[in-house]
Structure formats: C-alpha cells, structure tokens
Amino acid sequence: MVRHPGMTGAPVAALAVVGEFGPTPVGVAAGAVGLGVGAWYRGHPDTFDTLAAPVLRSWRRRWAGAYVGRRWADLMGACDLTRTHPRTGRVLVPRVVRVRSWSPSIDTVRVRLVPGQSVRSVVDKAEELADTLRAERVAVERDRPGQVVFIVQRDEPFRHMIPSPDMPDDVGDVDPMALYLGEDEFGRDYREPLFGTHFLRAGATGAGKNSIPAQRLRQVAPLIRAGLVRPWIIDPKMLEWAWAKPILDGRYADNPTDAHELIEAFVDNMERKQKRMQREKLRKAPLSEDYPVDWLIFDEIGYMLSYRPDYAHSITEKAAIIASMGRTTHDVLEAFVQEPTKDTVPIRELLPHRVCLRVTDSGHPDMVLGDGMRKRGAVADEIPEGEDTAGIGFAKAPRRPQPRRVRIAYTDDAQLSELVSFVRSPGLRAVS
C-alpha cells in the first residue's frame, strides 16, 4: 500500500462507494466516464494522445503486462538478474519503481537494482531482456545511484517520414546552438549545435546521411545570407552537393587536388582568425562577420584519408588541425563516412558529436558512437534497408552516456532549391 497507494486505494474506494450508493448509480457514473473518455478520443484525438493515452497506456503495461509480480520476478530470473542473499538465502529481485509509456512503441521502466548489482551487469543482458520481453530492443541507461532505466522498444517508433520544417526568415529566428534535425524515439525534437564542437556521421549507402547537413543548412539559411555562416564542401562523388555551388562562392571541391587546396585554404583562414583574436586579446570570438562560422562539410572522408594515398597524409593532418583547434574560432568539421574503422577515419576521436545511421557491420556502432554503445541499445546494424527507414539511426552527444534513437527530417530537391533561392535573394547584412 505504501509503494503503490493508487493501485491499492482505488479498489478500496470503489467498494466503499458501491456500499454507500449502491451498484446502479456507481455503474451509471462509470459508464458516463467511459463515454466521456471515448468522446474525447473521437472528438480531439491529438489532445487525447498527448494527455490521456500515456497515462492509460502506462497503467495497463505496468499492471497487466510483464512488469508486475511473479511475471517480473520470473523475467529477471530467466535473464540471470536476480541475486541470492548470502546470509538469509532469500532471492533478491530488482524492483520496478515506475513505468512510463509516452508512445505506443516505447516504454521507460525505472528499476531499482539489488545490492551487489552493477549497471554493467544489466547492460550485458540487454539482448536477453529484449528477447524475453518480445521487444525489438532494450537499452539500459543509468538513472541515479542504484537505479537504471530500461528503454523498451516494442516496435519501430518512426513509422512515417519526418518532413523538413519551414526555413526561418530572419537571423533572429535562428538559435545556432539548437538546430532542429528531427525527432527522437520519445517524440521530442532532436537538436544539435552548429558550432562549438565537431561532428562524425556514419551510415551505409542509402542510409540518409546527407539529410543531416541539408537540414542544418536550411535551419541556418538566414545566417548564410547574412554572412555569419560560410559553408565549405568537399564532394568526392561530384553529384551529392553540386546543387549548393551557387551559395558557396567557390568553397567547393569535387576531386582530390581541389580538396587538398580547399582544406589548406580553410586552415589558413582559421589561422588568420586566431591571429586576429590574439591581436584583439579575445579568448572567445563573438559570432559576427569578422568571426563567422566556417563550416567544412567533408563528404566521404574515408575516400580522401584512406583510398587516395597521394593526398591522405596531408589532408589527415589538416583535418586534425581543424578538429583540435577550430572550436574557439567557430571553425567546424562535419565528416561523413560509410566505413568508420580507425584505418579509414584516423581522426574520429577528435569528432565528439556523432550520429550512426544504418550500417552493415555489428562493430560499426561502437566505432562511431563509442565502446559499449551497441550493448546499450544502439543496434544500427539491425535497421532494415529501404527508403522507409532512411534517416533512422542513433545519436550520441559528448556528455550523454546513452545513445538516442533518432530520425532525421527529410529534405527534398524542391526544398534544396528553395534554400539556394533564399540565400541568393537580397537580404539585410548582419552588423558586426
């Protein structure tokens, strides 16, 4: 009764009301409540799904599913997550503290561990938990000392493509430290900073990698037009980014020779900003026309760093300089790769903000997101291949131990043309 007053108090209160007023009035009142809930569901499904459905779904899954009583104890025992007290011989079972089901696809189950149990021991059992719960995957996240959260994915939360939202109109409408990219598995906005860090994006062919910078470019379009953001693009495929050439002012390369010259020019520009900051005694540069964000989008970086030995050493050196020294001058490296091995991307440890879309090898999620991320639920190699799953993957921020399942908004060709037209149209220049 102390742990779950609602579940124990509600039946007692219901019996008391029946004893006081009789079954007929109580039945009529219950039917009226049921009709009201049904009318709410039919009349305003959006508000019902936001306010009522998560509560009802959480209650049902908590008390009529696998998270209660003997069923939960048997599940923990089957996955070898119980402990036997060494003195009393009593079997200790991790206790469910709270269940939340914010969407039909995802449950979050807060669990209190038993003495002597570590988070790592639970993480190692994630696959067994998923199979036992008949779930697609189970991710384990540390909540507080002695507690973990199971993120139980029952089915694919991203059943529909996420369209790219409208571009902002003015510089004041853009928050460069929280650019909208799509949604996470809980239905929340997935956002990333434009600068102050560097980015690694991995994914197999057709996984939707290019949707990430395309969406980011649309989000900062007013800043590009105002001269506060300057994209630089290396495009070895010669086709993926040719559409952006009208807004790049020559900061585009599609072959190894030009790419080598472009990255050298990028580093030279960064060093000029460093010297200017030194003269002005600035430790942190303001975002202005004098100190714009120079953003290098390096597509298929593995092609340049591993498959072209004539340029690999020099380009690797320049990319490492950008990734290690560009943060304070608003110089950003965003690298894209299909095969994220250390041999292919030797500078990957310098790129802390990471997204891993669908990949072809079970070792790739750990290579991209960090050691142990696949055990924590980042099963990017299990994402099915196809257009309906493009843009789905896992994101890892530098200070977050847990990867998040996300889907990037899709930007079509018409929206890319809209971006180019917007940037090239006359606009007010920013005042530095």
Q: Per residue in 117-170, pLDDT tens? A: 888 899 999 999 999 999 989 988 888 888 999 999 988 888 889 999 999 999
Higher-pLDDT residue of 12 and 351 is 351
Q: What is the pLDDT of residue 8?
A: 66
The model's confidence at residue 200, banded by pLDDT at 50, 70 and 90, is very high
Q: Which residue has the higher pLDDT, 19 or 334?
A: 334
Q: Is 156 exposed, middle or buried (0-12, 13-18, 19+ CB in 10 A)?
A: middle
- Does residue 308 register a pLDDT over 70? no
> Which of 4-8, 198-202, 334-338, 391-395 shows the lowest mean pLDDT across its residues?
4-8
- Asked if 398 and 354 touch (Cβ cutoff 8 Å), the reply is no
* Residue 36 vs residue 113, higher pLDDT: 113
pLDDT for 300 beyond 80? yes
CA distance 200 to 241: 18
pLDDT of residue 293: 95
Residue whose structure tokens are 């006359």 = 426
- The answer to whether residue 339 scores a pLDDT higher than 90 is no
Q: What is the mean pLDDT of the chain?
A: 87
**Most distant pair of Cα atoms in the chain: their distance:** 89
State percent of the chain over pLDDT 90: 50
pLDDT tens sequence across 356-415: 999 999 899 999 998 889 888 899 999 998 888 999 999 988 777 788 999 999 999 999
What CATH class is the domain 44-153? alpha beta
Residues 380 and 359 sit within 8 Å (Cβ to Cβ): yes
Backbone angles phi, psi at 204, to 5 degrees: -70, 170
What's the pLDDT score for residue 1?
65
| Average pLDDT of the segment spanning 4-11 | 64
Q: What is the pLDDT of residue 39?
A: 81
Q: What is the pLDDT of residue 96?
A: 92
pLDDT for 182 equals 95
Backbone angles phi, psi at 279, to 5 degrees: -65, -35
182 closest CA partner among 162, 202, 167, 168: 162
Residue 76: per-residue pLDDT: 92
Residue pair 416/216 in contact by the 8 Å Cβ criterion: no
Is the confidence at residue 430, as pLDDT, over 60?
no
Tell me what the mean pLDDT of segment 199-211 comes to. 91
CA distance 45 to 418: 34
Locus of tokens 């964000």: 293
Predicted pLDDT at 273: 93
Dig out the tokens for 250 from the structure.
């020559």
pTM: 0.82
**Can you give the pLDDT at residue 170?**
92
| Residue 127 tokens, joined | 């696959």
pLDDT classification of 3: cutoffs 50, 70, 90: low
- Rounded to an integer, the average pLDDT of 69-94 is 90
- Where are the domains positioned within the chain? 44-153, 171-424
Residue 289 has pLDDT above 70, yes or no: yes
Indicate whether 431 pLDDT > 50: no
pLDDT band at 429 (very low <50, low <70, confident <90, very high): very low
Provide the edge-to-edge strand list for the sheet that holds 147-153: 95-100, 106-112, 147-153, 137-144
pLDDT of residue 21 exceeding 60: yes
Pick the CATH number of 171-424 from 3.20.20.80, 3.40.190.10, 3.40.50.300, 3.40.50.1580: 3.40.50.300
